[in-house]
Amino acid sequence: MCCICEKGFISKQDLMRHVLIHESDPELKYKFKCAVCEKGFRSKHNLMCHVLIHETNPKLKCKFKCAVCKRRFVSKRNVKRHVLIHESDPKLKYEFKCAVCEKRFISKQDLMRHVLIHESDPKLKNKFECKIGT
């Protein structure tokens, strides 16, 4: 749980990423800088995606391609998610199912986040607490 706004998180990574929104020092908040334009980012992943906007060769810029429609993507994660729009079978498209309410999800991560809505124990629901200021 964030010690500033009391928002709860299911993973330590989500909490650490969230805490940065409360940071007022831009040098700490945006510690990943683009070498070309000096724009700052909170995560290395976001910086790596951004750097590609400076690439002039489209094949280098968007290295990942959908096998169905040939649309190009900057990251493998984006193309994997995109490919699901071509899937007509909902059981294949939404392969992860909640054991409690049977709602289906595209990714395991989405399901894991959802499952916590059924949790009644706040200590389990919000496993990670902010240690800043304590």
What is the residue-wise DSSP string for 63-131?
A: -EE-TTT--EESSHHHHHHHHGGG---HHHHT-EE-TTT--EESSHHHHHHHHGGG---HHHHT-----
**Number of structural domains the chain divides into:** 1
Confidence at 130, pLDDT banded by 50, 70, 90: low
- CATH number for the domain including 6? 3.30.160.60
Q: Within a domain: residue 123? A: no
7 or 38: which carries more pLDDT confidence? 38
Confidence at 69, pLDDT banded by 50, 70, 90: very high
For residue 56, give the 3-state DSSP assignment. coil
Q: Within a domain: residue 105? A: no
Confidence at 76, pLDDT banded by 50, 70, 90: confident
Tell whether the model's pLDDT for residue 79 goes beyond 70. Answer: yes
Q: Within a domain: residue 12? A: yes
Residue 40 belongs to what domain range?
A: 1-54
Q: Within a domain: residue 87? A: no
pTM exceeds 0.75, yes or no: no
Q: Within a domain: residue 38? A: yes
Q: Within a domain: residue 69? A: no
